[in-house]
Amino acid sequence: MNRIWLYLLICNCTLSFAQSASDETIEPSKISQPVAFKLTPTYYSNSNQTHANDINLRANTGPHVSWLGFYQDQEHFQQLRAGYEYTMSSSVGKWVPSVQVASHGFAGGSINHQYGEEIYSILGFGRTNKKTYYNLNFDPNDAYTFGMGTQLIPKTNLYFYSVYDNRFNTGQKITHWVWRYSPDKSERYTVDMASKSGSVEQGDVKVKGYSLSLGYDFSNYFIKLVRDQKVNYTQQDQTRISLGARF
């Protein structure tokens, strides 16, 4: 556990440094920004009758986002994690670098890029140190990401993206099709359909599966229900339910 506290200290110092660097370039009236929190407890139910729980606290202030989470399953695997990301806008699009650390010695990072507004492209690249990690985004972490989207339809954001393993020769690939609709400022509906193929390790039998995620946000509260076949490219199917709040 000593390593994880060291990682958390580094992550906290990185956040503080990035905040200080940002403060030097923004207007004085915008230096003090409120922190918005998002709390997400999630329950996982697997087809082999095991279950798990996760809780994640996310904090957002301006372009800075940090999070702290804890995962525990019925087989006594536990993992504490923390992360930080920073959104940078430039003349060539929006860049979002991020870092993440977790107990069991895990560390990873990624950078994503979006170019365009009404019609936009999506590019991404991720790397880890190969340590034990329960993949909570359910996509390959050592991967390339390619996609496109549009906001031409009023109150609607439509986009798709594919994530490809680029390191372990597992053939892991997952493609998401996402529809988000916000009829007003207090409500949002989200549908995320995905198809996947690949194996856990090189040489394993490849699996194919699909997932469907339905989300509803109302005011400061939200609910999300997911049915995921072959979760993390295993033989297990999984149902996930999240209930959360923003404050």
Rounded-to-integer distance, Cα 98 and Cα 75, Å:
30
pLDDT beyond 50 at 19:
no
Total domains in the chain come to: 1
What range does the domain containing 41 cover? Answer: 2-246
Q: What is the pLDDT of residues 179-193, one digit of tens each?
A: 999 999 999 999 999
Who's near 97: CB < 8 A, 6+ residues apart?
85, 86, 88, 109, 110, 111
Phi-psi region of 25 (alpha: psi -120 to 50; beta: other; left: phi over 0): alpha
Rounded-to-integer distance, Cα 188 and Cα 156, Å:
10
pLDDT beyond 70 at 7:
no
159 within 8 A of 152, measured Cβ to Cβ: no
Burial class (CB in 10 A: 0-12, 13-18, 19+), 140: buried
Q: What is the pLDDT of residues 60-102, one digit of tens each?
A: 999 999 999 999 999 889 999 999 999 999 999 999 999 999 9
Q: What is the pLDDT of residues 50-59, one digit of tens each?
A: 999 999 999 9
pLDDT of 32 reads 60
pLDDT of 33 reads 73
The residue written with tokens 């996609």 in the block is 147
Average pLDDT for residues 122-135, to the nearest whole number?
94
172 within 8 A of 233, measured Cβ to Cβ: yes
Whole-number average pLDDT of the chain: 89
68 within 8 A of 49, measured Cβ to Cβ: no
Q: What is the pLDDT of residues 33-43, one digit of tens each?
A: 799 999 999 99
pLDDT beyond 90 at 206:
yes
Q: What is the pLDDT of residues 140-155, one digit of tens each?
A: 999 999 999 999 999 9
pLDDT of 246 reads 97
CATH of the domain at 41: 2.40.160.40
Burial class (CB in 10 A: 0-12, 13-18, 19+), 118: exposed
pLDDT beyond 60 at 24:
no
Rounded-to-integer distance, Cα 102 and Cα 19, Å:
23
